[in-house]
Structure 1
């Protein structure tokens, strides 16, 4: 880079006992899940007790860690050395929602909620549920005290930061007019209150009945009435987790690839984290193509290939020179993208990981990624 970005010291983050949570965020397809797993493994093999939580539905994390599956329960990863231990899990948002209901409602109320058709739909597919449950699960893991480091692999794209909005979104939902209408009968004392509500909001309830159907509306009313007793705890825990994410013991790592769209997303994440006063540790640029400083420029390689082809000589050499020229052009484009990001964010620490010849599929591959994260390769000096 023409501007030199501060180097991201990954091992300093992993070795600091004060670091309790690492959140990996970034757009889809940039190696975020692999980065989270590699960080978790490296921290465990440096003596820490680590759990990796992924909310990405891909199965790569389980496969790389030698697990047949991941679910809502942390599973121990075998083959981790040097005194630490590593667990991994995948968020099951419905099961997490069920656990919250079971833990914060009495048996009868919990049964009413869990068997309610509206709840079953809400807990499986309602917009924002996954992000909120990710926050809940993170809070549960932190409160358990079973691990001294939690590594979170967030969903792809900008939704990766939607959990930052969870407390506010939940508050808007709870305080909304529709919820007040639906909860008022139970709060006011039953059947007579329903008459009062129907008198005051007859038009609203009439429209809802026509749109949703009488049975669906009754399901929603019963669900909201039963859940009302535990709503306050939802909001309180979400706000506590939000504050936990802002605390000094949390480190956000933005993962990107050296491509225009991915680096643009990285800029968005960096700016949003600053806006929310979240502790950004740095940026990981994955799958970087590097070329030796002494290599031929792409222009010279292309010219040499053209000369050989014009003379009809050394076809294989000409093909290799063409390949080299393309590689140099790619390296130069990637370098310009990194320079553009650094110009916009000159104080953000960066590390880069070179493109690997094949996908990571086991612990050995994750160790290699961890080594590269902690000891990035020399900067490319490619010229086009």
Structure 2
């Protein structure tokens, strides 16, 4: 009984019928009370921030208490939600008539780091750390700090248990998933040779131990001072000694948040546009999430260009336009339709190529908006495209596709 469908599927593919992507039901996802975290990731310029905001708005209008956290330092989220600015604390967004609540915030990595220092050390030790020049640089500009602080902030939001749903808008690059490395990166940092040497005098017990540690430290100082400079090295040493008692907590919290992302109730949504580079990045994200064992909801193929009517092919429209040359209006309309059909066919081929490589990944196409999405109404329209019924489109083409499926 199972051989016939398999043979039929092979015959269909041989005849040119593309593999069908599973449908992604984002409405059920954001409505489900068991869904607690949705992470949107993708390359830059694909509408990831707008997708995050639209999903958060849809969840609030479904009655949930939602916060959307952007790690992207751009101001697009605040603008689309009608807010002047966002900061490190959730701000209420006025959504008239919504039975739920929508809040928004933007990660401030230095303030998040400052809050951690204040919360997990004595006032005297916190003052010492916050005033340290090396800490001030580390907390605002060092590579990897943003990703680790994103893990911290997400962990804080989830631990507070204030929100029914947390939607995370990640940075617009491959580093969008670097926060998954935060626990291992923190462990490598804490276990590194430099940290062990810098903390040796503080950790050594007894006079002999102190002498040994001091000898190692002096040797290290002579070598590294030539590279970093004596004052910077002293700042680093003072910072590490002051922060020593907090190291274990950093690692434990990062690991706990990482495990939270793998548990039921968390979903990742990859966002792309129907362009080769964006879909290549989407493939990277899908593979990375799979390797990490992270739950993937599917791919949002954003800014597609479905034609208003799919019954007339591009070839037939071009031929009809040539035959109607005497009627400029009709001929022009036919040529516009032909161009739109050709563009849709190109986008569908790219989507089919992605699905062939990742047949298990659910898909949802979202038509391009007429202009930039900059207000709640625009987000609501996009939210309807994201969460609407699969076959509820003007042409009846399922939302998993740009054009109707070809028949073998």
Normalised to the residue count of structure 2, the TM-score between the two structures is: 0.88
Taking the aligned partners of 1:222 and 1:380, their CA distance within structure 2 comes to 59
Q: Contact conserved, 1:5 with 1:350, CA < 8 A, in 2?
A: yes
Partner residue, 2:310? 293
Give the conservation status (yes or no) of the 8 Å contact 1:293–1:380: no
RMSD across aligned positions (CA): 2.2
Return the alpha-carbon distance in structure 1 between the equivalents of residues 304 and 280 of structure 2: 16
Given candidates 134, 154, 163, the residue that maps to 1:118 is 134
Q: Return the offset for 1:59.
A: 1.1
Distance 1:372 1:130 in 2: 32
State the Cα deviation string for residues 206-229 of structure 1 (Å, max 9, x = none): 121111111111000000000111
Question: Quick check: 1:99 aligned with 2:92?
Answer: no
| Deviation larger for 265-274 or 223-232 | 265-274
Q: Which residue of 2 aligns with 1:343?
A: 356
Q: Where do residues 199-238 of structure 1 align in structure 2 (5 Å cutoff)?
A: 199-200=215-216, 202-238=218-254
Q: Indicate the residue corresponding to 1:381 in structure 2.
A: 403
Secondary structure at 1:338 match in 2:
helix
In the superposition, relative to structure 1, how do residues 363 and 207 fare at CA in structure 2: closer, same or farther (>3 Å)?
A: same
**TM-score, structure 1 length as denominator?**
0.93
The equivalent of 2:58 in structure 1 is 42
Contact (CA 8 Å) 2:82, 2:376: kept in 1 or not?
Answer: yes
Matches within 5 A, 1:119-198: 119-188=135-204, 196-198=212-214
Match of 1:367 in 2: 380
Equivalent position of 2:11 in the other structure: none
Range moving further from structure 2, 50-59 or 189-198: 189-198
Offset at residue 329 of structure 1 (A): 2.0
- 1:202 Cα offset (Å): 4.5
Aligned-partner Cα distance in 1 for 2:355–2:156: 36
Query: Within 2, Cα distance between the matches of 1:316 and 1:191?
Result: 94
Distance 1:89 1:41, change over 3 A: same
| Aligned residues of 1:182 and 1:224 also touching (Cα < 8 A) | yes
CA contact (8 A) 1:25 1:160 kept: yes
1 CA distance for matches of 2:116 and 2:354? 41
Q: Deviations over 1:285-314 (max 9, x none)?
A: 1001112221241x34445556777xxx55
Instruction: Give aligned pairs, total.
Output: 380
Partner SS for 1:76: strand
Q: 2-side partners of 1:57 and 1:169: how far apart? A: 22
Distance 1:196 1:35, change over 3 A: same
2:198–2:240 contact (8 Å) kept in structure 1: yes
- What displacement does 1:34 show? 0.5
Deviates most, 244-253 or 262-271: 262-271
Question: Which deviates more from structure 2 when the two are superposed, residues 247-256 or residues 80-89?
Answer: 80-89
Q: Does 1:85 align with 2:101?
A: yes
Deviation per CA, 1:232-255, whole angstroms, max 9, x where unpaired?
100000000001000001011111
Q: Is the 8 A contact 1:331 1:382 kept in 2?
A: no
Are the counterparts in 2 of residues 328 and 382 from structure 1 also a CA contact under 8 Å? no
Identify the match of residue 267 of structure 1 among 283, 295, 303: 283
Secondary structure of 2:22's counterpart equals coil
Query: Does structure 1 retain, via aligned residues, the 8 Å contact 2:201–2:214?
Result: no
